[in-house]
Amino acid sequence: MKDISLFLEELNSIFTAEHIKHKEPMSRHTTLRIGGEADYMVLPSSIEEIKQVVLLCKRYNMPFYIMGNGSNLLVSDSGYRGLVIKLSSEFSAITVLDEGIVVAQAGVLMSKLSSVIARHELTGFEFGAGIPGTLGGAVTMNAGAYGGEIKQIIQSATLIDREGEIYSLDKEELELGYRSSILQKKDLCLLEATLKLDKGNRQQILDKIYELNSRRQEKQPLDKYSAGSTFKRPQGHFAGKLISDAGLKGYQIGGAAVSDKHCGFLINKENATAKDFMALINEVIRIVDNKFGVVLEPEVKFLGTFDSE
């Protein structure tokens, strides 16, 4: 890339010092608690800052990656040679309008958004309360649980592409399907989304959230470091059942293991490395394919270089 000193000078003109990190351990920013250092990380607080840093990276040929809560991300042990743009609490505003309309920025945690929506006695978002990521990740994956999904409540979205262009797309244009969207297909990033909820009874909403969260706690290893469901649901099957039926419950490579509680979750059991986790993913895929002829597809995303791991 061009002169790094000039790049950093311009970066410092966009962000205050506390919003720029150097040699940042990515293990601090993923729910797996795995990952080496990113060269740089910034924490934007506005759409304009996001656009400026994307354009800056483009001008200097600096590789960049935009992330949220890191709840669906495995980062290489060698880290990331580039700049990570983390959309988190600094970019998490929520505005509740009339007629059940809610506008929220991409960095807001789903749990926080659910709490605010419930406080305004709006129903339809209860399913999102226990999803451990941000709204940005949820829209990108069309996240869903217990019969609810983003597709059912989103009206429109504001997005940015890797060239720094900003778009507004309506629900149909987002092409939301099972764990898929136009954001994935065209490498777009959510900036904010407009949701439409229905008026409801606050106590009934809170009771529903409690019920769904209790079901999660009962069935999922929420007390362990994980990236949620590691694999997408294969057509006609359930990934967790296939893995369990393959005799892989508790199967471990290094510090990474298949959860005893829910085989669809691979966990960081004992200070796992990315190498451990990647080896476990590949071994689970191989064994399930050999036994049942079903090739599991990872739902988790990968950042960094894994060839040597």
- Segment 79-83 shows an average pLDDT of 97
Backbone angles phi, psi at 295, to 5 degrees: -95, 110
Final residue before a domain boundary, out of 67, 89, 111: 89
Model pLDDT, residue 2 = 59
102 inside domain? yes
Tens digit of each residue's pLDDT (9 = 90 or more) over 225-235: 999 899 999 99
Model pLDDT, residue 307 = 72
Give the bridge partners for 114, in sequence order.
none
The range of the structural domain enclosing residue 243 comes to: 221-303
> Could you tell me if 126 and 68 lie in one domain?
no
> Could you tell me if 228 and 279 lie in one domain?
yes
- Cα–Cα dist 199/123, whole Å: 6
- Cα–Cα dist 126/216, whole Å: 13
Helix (H, G, I), strand (E, B) or coil at 199: strand
Give the pTM: 0.93
210 inside domain? no
Contact status, residue 278 vs residue 307, Cβ threshold 8 Å: no
- Cα–Cα dist 161/106, whole Å: 14
Domain count within the chain? 3
Final residue before a domain boundary, out of 138, 173, 205: 205
Model pLDDT, residue 145 = 84
> Could you tell me if 75 and 64 lie in one domain?
yes
> Could you tell me if 85 and 184 lie in one domain?
no
- Cα–Cα dist 123/24, whole Å: 39
Model pLDDT, residue 24 = 98
Which residue type sits at 117?
Answer: I
48 inside domain? yes
CATH number, residue 133:
3.30.465.10
> Could you tell me if 134 and 200 lie in one domain?
yes
> Could you tell me if 81 and 103 lie in one domain?
no
> Could you tell me if 96 and 185 lie in one domain?
yes
CATH number, residue 251:
3.90.78.10
Model pLDDT, residue 1 = 55
> Could you tell me if 125 and 78 lie in one domain?
no
Burial of 209: CB neighbours in 10 Å, binned 0-12, 13-18, 19+: buried
CATH number, residue 34:
3.30.43.10
212 inside domain? no
Helix (H, G, I), strand (E, B) or coil at 132: coil
Tens digit of each residue's pLDDT (9 = 90 or more) over 273-300: 999 999 999 999 999 999 999 999 999 9
Across 1-10, 27-36, 195-204, 261-270, least confident range: 1-10
Final residue before a domain boundary, out of 205, 234, 257: 205
Please give the positions annotated as active site.
Answer: 179, 229, 299
> Could you tell me if 104 and 77 lie in one domain?
no
Which residue type sits at 277?
Answer: F
- Cα–Cα dist 67/89, whole Å: 12
> Could you tell me if 98 and 175 lie in one domain?
yes
280 inside domain? yes
214 inside domain? no
> Could you tell me if 67 and 109 lie in one domain?
no
211 inside domain? no
Is pLDDT of 113 > 50? yes
- Cα–Cα dist 290/288, whole Å: 5
> Could you tell me if 161 and 178 lie in one domain?
yes
Is pLDDT of 88 > 80? yes
